[in-house]
Structure 1
Amino acid sequence: MSDSSGWGPSGPSGPYWGAPGGWGWMPPPPPKPGVIPLAPLGADHILGGAFVTMRRYAKPLFGIAFAGIAALAALNLGLLYAAYLSTKTQLDRMTAAPRSIDWADLRTVLIVFGTVWIVGMLVSLVASSFVQASSAATLHDAVLGRRAPVGAVWRRAWSRTPSVLGVTLLMGLVVALPMVVLFVVFGMLLATVASRAPLVAFSLFPLVALLVIPLAVWLFVRFSFAPAAAVLEGASPVTAMRRSARLVRGAWWRTFGILLLGGLITLIVSIVVDLPLQMAVSAPRPYDLSSAQEPASVTQIYAQLLPAVGRSLVFSTIANVFVQLFALVFIPLVSSLLYIDQRIRREGLADVLLRASAAAETPGSVQ
């Protein structure tokens, strides 16, 4: 389907009278039951459609995203507090005698907080996958111009979260593999020539990075449609990755450019929100250990610093939550709209979407 054809053979047809600049025939505009016209999309339609979706469907999008962030933050704080309580004795001893830290105390602290960090990372991946799934599920109704009740979006997103999580893990593995190769190759080169020519060994690192980093970016863009395919097609992680690779083929640069624009918009929003708060809130003064007459415990240090950092922590937390909400919702919407655009261009999805928008009930998936 070409850009000039507008809607397609199965859509509404028939010219209308009154072309701009004089009398003449012009093709009718493509149907637009929801947030985007059912025709091949430009960058303005994709980015604009993401903003319109956030405005019209703020409740399911940001409500579910905020619930995920809040649950993740509460869990992380609970885990950190439990870790602190379980290692309070070791932390007090380490703070009282920082120059003679016992290895047993340090090992206990590292194990406990390392376990908390690993659990937090796993829960964060699940929460991020759930929010991505909810964004795609909301967009499913937004494109068709349907209501998106929070409960229905929640159930649909939760049912597809395992698949999106699998896609996230596979994408992380595929993208991280070139970086692992980089470090392995650099380590081998360093071990081989470092003793004879260390400057040559270190000069090889940028050359290897120039080969590996573009490969990682290429792989990320190639599989960027996989989360949308996992939700909107009900595909398994491997099938979603294959679908993304097929849809991106021949449109890599366009996909990369629009995703880059989405990332730049997210960065600008982050700066606009964070910079005024950084200028308005002064940095807390560091705690001076030398001023204490006797060794201070961790609890005493926290009690001393808490009044100074309280206001800064509140404002920075609000800013971080706002930026995270925007990024968690906006980027998946952009990639999902790109996915829909490629299916409209290559598979005639516009006809399916038009029939679905006119149906009495929303279908379970757009296939």
Structure 2
Amino acid sequence: MSDTSGWGPQGPRGQYGPYGPQGPYGPYGWNGWTPPPPPPKPGVIPLAPLGVDHILGGTFATMRRYAKPLFGTAVAAYGLVAVVMTAAAVLAYVSVRDHWRALSEPGGTFSWDDGRPVLIAFGVVWLLTLLATLAVNSFIQASCAATLHEAVLGRPATFGAIWRRAWSRTPSVMGVTVLLAVILLLPAATCVLLFVSFFVTVLTQSAVPFGLIFLLLLVVTPLAAWLYVLFAFAPAAASLETAGPLQALRRSVRLVRGAWWRIFGISLLAGMIVGAVSLAVRLPLQFAAPTPHPVDPGSSTSAVLLDQLRSQFGLYAVFTLVASFVTQLAASVFLPLVTAVLYIDQRIRKEGLAHTLAQAASTQGS
């Protein structure tokens, strides 16, 4: 079986697979008094319509059995981006070092002759950081889908194979990720406008701006959630079906249609799991934070700030940084995997993908 065989929009059995709505045992799963045999399970999930336990269990099983290609590609991608961004920041500082010193020296005044090069240099670094973050997040989503492709069939996956397959699909996933990011920015931008309108209301003593933005927030937030779930399968479709961004978006709409609330609920549950784990990691670190040095009334503001910063560095800072990175790494893998398993579940329910996967697994085993 090739990497993309059987993952297109139509499986060989059309709409109904061997364990779909009209399986081999009738609509109720029984043929007389004979119970149906369990569905085949060559990999991390059974090849049948999945429940929540199978979706979450398959996700955790994939993370456990395929930890090296999953987390290895993610760590390598984050590490590569960190090296590139550090080099870009160093180059930006070196290129405007004289202008920076002119602005930061004691008694110096701001001038556009010095400020413009600094703003342009670090603006370029910020833009490069934004693009690099978009690329690495898209790459990790593609690598999760590529790893799940092998995990469902019970086949081994190597770091090099996953890297190559994910890299080839990253541009298409990036196109989808941009749209999903814009959708998420809608309620965020509205919240910023609501915050600004509050101060306008206080200054002008007029509640009209605040009320209008609040009503806009009530409309934008449900709309953004609906669109985000509607297009949630697009990264998986772009990776597993080698679809372009627009084709992947259309595929996601067709697969989500009729199951929006179920997909929303399971995705929300996955997000709550990530939030609970992150909170469980952060709370002990917050309680273990070192006590800042007492403030001396005679000390200058800069000395006070320096003492406060020193109290937060050292071993505690190392533990905090490592814990934050591990939590972010796990979340960046867990959430795309849950979405990809949901995508396969909808393909099984609507297109009979279970039959295609069972044939591929049996061919692999023979």
TM-score by length of 1: 0.81
SS at match of 1:198: coil
Aligned equivalents of 1:35 and 1:3: distance in 2? 19
Change (3 A) 1:269 1:186: closer
Is this contact kept in 1: 2:138–2:174, CA < 8 A?
yes
Quote the residue 2:280 is aligned against: 272
Q: Does 1:49 find its partner at 2:58?
A: yes
Change (3 A) 1:95 1:184: closer
Quote the residue 1:19 is aligned against: none
Quote the residue 1:163 is aligned against: 172
Quote the residue 1:231 is aligned against: 239
1:273 maps to amino acid: V
Q: Does 1:354 find its partner at 2:358?
A: yes
Is this contact kept in 2: 1:132–1:227, CA < 8 A?
yes
Aligned equivalents of 2:96 and 2:178: distance in 1? 32
Quote the residue 2:341 is aligned against: 337
Choose from 113, 126, 133 the match for 1:117: 126
Is this contact kept in 2: 1:178–1:213, CA < 8 A?
yes
Quote the residue 1:315 is aligned against: 319
2:57 maps to amino acid: G
Greater alpha carbon shift after TM alignment, 279-288 vs 248-257: 279-288
Alignment of 1:243-258 (within 5 A): 243-258=251-266
Is this contact kept in 2: 1:6–1:27, CA < 8 A?
no
Aligned equivalents of 2:288 and 2:159: distance in 1? 37
Alignment of 1:132-281 (within 5 A): 132-176=141-185, 198-281=206-289
Q: CA shift at 1:340, angstroms?
A: 0.4
| Number of residue pairs aligned between Structure 1 and Structure 2 | 345
Is this contact kept in 2: 1:8–1:351, CA < 8 A?
no
Is this contact kept in 1: 2:231–2:249, CA < 8 A?
yes
Higher relative contact order (CA 8 A, sep 6+): 2
Q: CA shift at 1:167, angstroms?
A: 1.1
Aligned equivalents of 2:122 and 2:191: distance in 1? 29
2:359 maps to amino acid: R
Change (3 A) 1:107 1:361: farther
Counting aligned pairs with the same residue, the percent is 51
Aligned equivalents of 1:351 and 1:2: distance in 2? 5
Greater alpha carbon shift after TM alignment, 333-342 vs 94-103: 94-103
Aligned equivalents of 2:213 and 2:365: distance in 1? 57
**Unmatched tracts of structure 1, length 5 or more:** 17-23, 363-367
Change (3 A) 1:179 1:305: closer
Q: CA shift at 1:8, angstroms?
A: 3.6
The CA RMSD over aligned residues, in Å, is: 3.9
2:68 maps to amino acid: K
Is this contact kept in 2: 1:194–1:201, CA < 8 A?
no
Change (3 A) 1:185 1:304: closer
Deviations 1:40-61 (A, max 9, x none): 1111111111111000100000
Change (3 A) 1:90 1:237: same
**Unmatched tracts of structure 2, length 5 or more:** 1-15
Change (3 A) 1:79 1:198: same
Alignment of 1:75-94 (within 5 A): 75-94=84-103
Greater alpha carbon shift after TM alignment, 301-310 vs 211-220: 301-310
Is this contact kept in 2: 1:7–1:30, CA < 8 A?
no
Change (3 A) 1:259 1:161: same
